Amino acid sequence: MDKRILTVAGIGVALLAAVLAAFYFLVPKPGATSVTPTEAAEADPAARDRALSVRPDDRALGSPDAPITLIEYASMTCGHCAAFHAQTIPTITTQYIDTGKVRWVFREFPLDGVAAGASLIARCLPPDQYFPFISMLYLNQPDWAHVDDPKEGLITMSRRAGLSREQVESCLNNQAETDRMRALMAEAGEIFGVNSTPTLIINGKVYRGAMPFEQIDAIFKELLAGQN
């Protein structure tokens, strides 16, 4: 499980530095304490229900009528998240999402300014391009996330999705989207105790870390068996 707050040497780019500043006070610090899901549910069950609901601004794949909802909180610079998307999500997609059994909701939980910038760019794209773009970013994470100039790396990746440099800079300056992600992070910490990525919420139950498919498969099968 990736609990590190990444330090990007030479970030020195005004737009990404501004994004980093905007997220600084919400990014979980090592050793920080947070409420447990049980405490949050007891304190405000209605808030928990709202956090579990799929909203119009969520990015989701799968049938709205699927019996299982998988909510993933992830950071675009998180190595464990990248591995989860490369090794586990494809099998979940073919066996559960495409077959109408699981609805996958992806929620941004950027652990640093570079991850926040990547998420802001992804949110600029039409919804049908969102998941292909984040998949491309995860598969090519070393080429943009861990380089001396991550902004230029992101611009290079964004060109593959048809975005110009000017459009990327406009995306990074989107204050409304920045505020939405800040609120999403605050809610995730307060309701589900999210302080690392990936954190998975499967039908309301919290699981931490990049679980292998076999473990998730067992959880899904148990839930589906309970539906019969």
Question: Domain map of the chain by residue range?
Answer: 14-227
Cα 192 to Cα 186: distance, rounded to the nearest angstrom: 10
> What pLDDT sits at residue 176?
93
Q: Provide the pLDDT confidence category of residue 227 given band limits of 50, 70 and 90.
A: confident
84-96 tens-digit pLDDT: 999 999 999 999 9
User: Who wins on pLDDT, 191 or 12?
Assistant: 191
The model's pTM: 0.85
Domain at 14-227: CATH architecture: 3-Layer(aba) Sandwich (3.40)
> What pLDDT sits at residue 163?
96
> What pLDDT sits at residue 44?
81
Helix 113-124, helix 165-172: angle, nearest 10: 110
3-state secondary structure at position 119: helix
> With contact defined as beta carbons under 8 Å apart, do 224 and 102 qualify?
no
181-208 tens-digit pLDDT: 999 999 999 999 999 999 999 999 999 9
3-state secondary structure at position 42: helix
